[in-house]
Amino acid sequence: MTTDETWRILPFETNSAAINMATDEAVLEHVAKKESPPTIRFYQWQPSAVSIGYFQSLVQEVNQSECVLRGIEIVRRSTGGGAVFHDSAGEITYSLIAPENLFPKGITESYREICGRLAQGLQNIGVNAEFKPINDILVDGKKISGNAQTRKNGVLLQHGTILFDPDIATMFSVLNVGKEKISDKFIQSANQRVTRLVSHTDRPRSEIMAAIEHALLCGAPSKTTPLSLSERKKTLELAGQKYGSFQWTALR
């Protein structure tokens, strides 16, 4: 990733699932029209949410009644990949939105470059992270990050989660993994395959995000500026008409 163009870092925000996903699409549209620069953002989900990949079935992937009981939102992403539980207090979420010509053309190669930068950022704060194709990051052999990608109108959008200190039991209660899989034995097994940052570093989230941001930029100049008024307007429009609608969520 090489560019002399100044990247924009959006201020950290906490929003609903619909607003979070709408923001990504609004920025993508503005980057495509060359009205916004390449952008990196970090954000949280409030309340906690489940996001499903564009091609997934809502009924097959999500325990909707459990989500209602727990006050957990559900949203369909514009990217592919699997269902993800976004713990409001337990993860770091990022998005990178930039002209696709800044990255390798192949999906695997672009994942390798971007996820490799993410892993490098974690390595820089002493976390033994490594990229595992096609779109995961592992620490000491355990998954700590999953990522998803889409390309539209010459723009690449990649977003993903980095597990900080998630509630594993809730995760497997709201995702359709089968009753036998939410047993204590299964959760113990999951803990052997998944890890979290608090087990590997005592750095606060702000330092972790700064390290990842630095690695993603790869020496490119950057400036922290908010969304434009046009992007805000488009975000609200997409949140209301698309990402916040049951028609979109239940598309499949």
Residue 184 sits in a domain whose CATH number is 3.30.930.10
Q: What is the mean pLDDT of the segment spanning 196-220?
A: 97
pLDDT category at 46 given cuts 50, 70, 90 is very high
Does some domain include residue 85? yes
pLDDT average, residue stretch 19-35: 99
State the pLDDT at residue 177: 73
Asked whether residue 190 carries a pLDDT value surpassing 70, the answer given is: no
pLDDT tens digits along 110-119: 999 999 999 9
The residue among 94, 17, 13 whose CA lies nearest residue 49 is: 17
Task: Give me the domain span that covers residue 18.
Answer: 7-249
On whether residue 1 sits in a domain, the answer given is no
Asked whether residue 136 is domain-assigned, the answer is: yes
Residue 178 has pLDDT above 90, yes or no: no
If one counts the domains in the chain, the total is 1
Rounded percentage of the chain residues whose pLDDT exceeds 90: 88
Cis ω before 47 (30° cut-off from 0): yes
- Kindly state whether residue 90 falls inside one of the protein's structural domains: yes
Question: Strand (E) positions, the chain?
Answer: 7-9, 13-15, 39-45, 49-52, 73-76, 84-86, 91-99, 129-132, 136-139, 142-152, 155-163, 222-224
Q: Give the whole-number percent of the chain exceeding pLDDT 70.
A: 93
The pLDDT of residue 168 is: 86
Specify the range with the lowest mean pLDDT, choosing from 141-155, 176-190, 222-236: 176-190
